[in-house]
Amino acid sequence: MHELTEIVILLAVAVFGAALARKIGVLSPIVLMIIGLGLSFLPGFPEFHLEPELVLIGILPPLLYIAALQTSVPAFRFNLRPILLLGIGLVVFTALGVGWVVHLIIPEAPFAVCVALGAVVAPPDAVSATAIARRIGLPRRVVTILEGESLINDASALVLLRVATAAAVGGAVGFGEVAEQVVVSAGGGIAIGIAGALIFGYLHKKIKDPLLDNALSLLIPFAVVIASEAIHASGVVAVVVTGLALGHRMPTLMAAGSRLQMDAFWRLIRFLLEGLVFLLVGLQLRTVINEITTPWGTVFAATGAVIATLIVTRYVWVVPGAFLPRLSARIRSRETTFTWRHPVIIGWAGMRGVVTLAAALALPSVGTGENEALYPRDVFIFIAFAVIVFTLLVFGLTLPMFARMVGLPPDDPTKDFLAEAAVQQAATRAAKARLEENLEGAPESVVQRLRQQVIDRTNTAWERLGGDGRETPSAAYGRLRQEMIDAEREVFRTARDEGRIPEEVLTRAYRDLDLEESLLQRREDD
């Protein structure tokens, strides 16, 4: 009962923090982490110890899965070169740089375990970065690269962490052993991910009940991770591969009712998990500080050096990586032009998240004797925590202002509207042709209504190219139809209260009206 009460408290604080963030216009991960920092020192507030297994097995897989589901595979494939450079190359480069710097400051710590710390702090968390990028209107390609980086950098960092940890505890880490571990971890994860996509894609195709479809989607990331752990493969890689494959095929795998319900279902799951994650990060502060036994001068020196190294290594890697490959004519012909503004923004979007702290907590207690540690584990955990706090507060709060200073222009919405209108017109022709093939037996009034409906959809797409400030026919329709829906609801509610219709009739009528209203709201959001 005590544990249940604590979970309810966490959920309540997470919801309150998210509401406060929306009220003041600050990204919710930042607000929730600050609230957690404050609550960690509040007398009488429960202490929450973040277990690395909870994050790596229980929280990270569903977050990665839904991110992969919503990632455009064509866009991911088109930007594969910069994504791999960031998600793998930058992780290794950062880990080695951090390892070298920390080993200089704390020479008693073996270089291998310093590299392990580098692997811990290397992967940025794109939850906050992409949320800010979308909100301030950064170009779609920048958002895609940041999302793609976040999908694979956790996997590469965890593989590197495993190799460095093996070296720190005296395991064999020759080239052959490292290659074998990479093949087993990454290759096994890819194999499990492909198998998961085939198996669960087949099940989604067969299931027609939206509730069962959504229940299956919740089980998928955990099933894939458990299968990967059983063969010592990377569960992160497996989840990402499965999510990308299923997301790309989702329009043909699930019925409309399942997709609608799944969208709302995963939005709630993502909202709750992300809120809990960043709140828990803040709540670790008291525990992390209490465990420090190393002199604070050394702690601050190492922390400042690591943060500086993270900033420098990211820019040293990102800027040349954006332009040097373009010396190749083949790459120039395949990729759209990058300006200096693109790598500058990507370099600034290097916020770290809860995976960094969970990986730090998983660092081994290496020692030559029962109580003799070869490195200050307490300092390494504090460094990881400080990196998360610094990058979220500094980069997260300043990214919108920094983007305005750099002046990176957003995507031209006219191009999107033109493309949408052209495809919608083609879709309208296809819909009319299908209608003409199936006219037999249908009343003429129904046929005319259907013809007008597809024409209205085409007109709505072209209206978005207007923008002269006047209310468009679609906007007028939405405004007036909303008033009509409100009136209809009132009549049904009054009839239910007066006993003229049962509750089931009210529920059915409200469901139809709610679906229509949600469609109107989505058109307004678009």
**Which of 252, 244, 241, 249 lies closest to 194 in space, CA to CA?**
241
CA distance linking residue 197 with residue 61, whole number of Å: 15
Distance of CA 473 to the CA centre of its chain: 36
430, 492: one domain: yes
57, 115: one domain: yes
The amino acid occupying position 164 is A
CA distance linking residue 120 with residue 435, whole number of Å: 58
The answer on pLDDT for 327 being more than 80 is no
CA distance linking residue 398 with residue 410, whole number of Å: 18
Structure tokens belonging to residue 336: 């759209």
Q: Which residues contact 480 (CB under 8 A, 6 or more apart)?
A: none
The answer on pLDDT for 374 being more than 80 is no
Please identify, among 409, 429, 464, the residue that sits at the C-terminal boundary of a domain: 409
The SS3 of residue 248 is helix
Q: Using the CB atoms, write b or e for 114-134: b if 16+ within 10 Å.
A: bbbbbbbbbbbbbbbbbbbbe
Structure tokens belonging to residue 367: 């020692």
354, 433: one domain: no
Cβ atoms of 220 and 196 closer than 8 Å: yes
CA distance linking residue 46 with residue 41, whole number of Å: 10
Residue located via tokens 């998600």: 87
Cβ atoms of 284 and 236 closer than 8 Å: no
Phi, psi of 373 (to 5 degrees): -85, 145
Q: Which residues contact 464 (CB under 8 A, 6 or more apart)?
A: 417, 420, 421
The answer on pLDDT for 490 being more than 70 is yes
41-45, 94-98, 248-252: least confident range: 41-45
Which CATH number does the domain housing residue 140 bear?
Answer: 1.20.1530.20
Mean pLDDT of 104-114: 88
53, 106: one domain: yes
The answer on pLDDT for 114 being more than 60 is yes
282, 366: one domain: yes
Mean pLDDT of 484-495: 91
145, 291: one domain: yes
385, 475: one domain: no
Torsion on CA atoms 148, 149, 155, 158, rounded to nearest 10: -160
> What average pLDDT is seen over the chain?
84
CA distance linking residue 49 with residue 4, whole number of Å: 15
Give the pLDDT score at 175. Answer: 59
Q: Does 259 or 372 have the greater pLDDT score?
A: 259
11-15, 48-52, 115-119, 295-299: least confident range: 48-52
On whether residue 39 sits in a domain, the answer given is yes
Distances (CA, A) of 110 to 99, 121, 164, 361, 376: 9, 17, 10, 18, 11
The amino acid occupying position 391 is T
Residue pLDDT, tens place only, 268-299: 998 888 888 888 888 888 888 888 888 888 89
Please identify, among 390, 409, 428, the residue that sits at the C-terminal boundary of a domain: 409
Residue located via tokens 């730090």: 360
305 CB neighbour count, 10 Å cutoff = 17
The answer on pLDDT for 178 being more than 80 is no
Distances (CA, A) of 263 to 217, 279, 380, 484: 11, 24, 39, 27
288, 436: one domain: no
Q: Does 184 or 247 have the greater pLDDT score?
A: 247
Residue pLDDT, tens place only, 410-438: 777 777 777 777 887 888 888 888 888 88
Give the pLDDT score at 241. Answer: 94
The answer on pLDDT for 318 being more than 60 is yes
Please identify, among 360, 390, 409, the residue that sits at the C-terminal boundary of a domain: 409
On whether residue 214 sits in a domain, the answer given is no
Cβ atoms of 204 and 213 closer than 8 Å: yes
Structure tokens belonging to residue 478: 């939405």
On whether residue 199 sits in a domain, the answer given is no
Give the pLDDT score at 259. Answer: 85
On whether residue 198 sits in a domain, the answer given is no
Give the pLDDT score at 50. Answer: 75
146, 34: one domain: yes
435, 463: one domain: yes
Give the pLDDT score at 326. Answer: 66
On whether residue 328 sits in a domain, the answer given is no
What residues make up the domain containing 356? 2-170+254-317+343-409
Mean pLDDT of 105-133: 83
pTM: 0.84
On whether residue 197 sits in a domain, the answer given is no
477, 350: one domain: no
CA distance linking residue 32 with residue 281, whole number of Å: 9
398, 437: one domain: no
Give the pLDDT score at 369. Answer: 45
CA distance linking residue 127 with residue 391, whole number of Å: 13
Distance of CA 308 to the CA centre of its chain: 26
Mean pLDDT of 208-215: 89
Cβ atoms of 322 and 338 closer than 8 Å: yes
126-135, 246-255, 451-460: least confident range: 126-135
Phi, psi of 367 (to 5 degrees): -160, 160
**Which of 28, 25, 70, 68 lies closest to 274 in space, CA to CA?**
28
On whether residue 182 sits in a domain, the answer given is no
Cβ atoms of 384 and 355 closer than 8 Å: no
CA distance linking residue 483 with residue 479, whole number of Å: 7
CA distance linking residue 481 with residue 87, whole number of Å: 47
DSSP per-residue codes, 477-510: HHHHHHHHHHHHHHHHHHHHHTTSS-HHHHHHHH
Split into its structural domains, the chain has a count of 2
107-111, 295-299, 501-505, 517-521: least confident range: 517-521
On whether residue 215 sits in a domain, the answer given is no
- Name the pLDDT band for 314 (thresholds 50, 70, 90): very high
CA distance linking residue 251 with residue 254, whole number of Å: 6
Give the pLDDT score at 155. Answer: 83
- Name the pLDDT band for 465 (thresholds 50, 70, 90): low
Distances (CA, A) of 338 to 323, 341, 526: 8, 8, 27
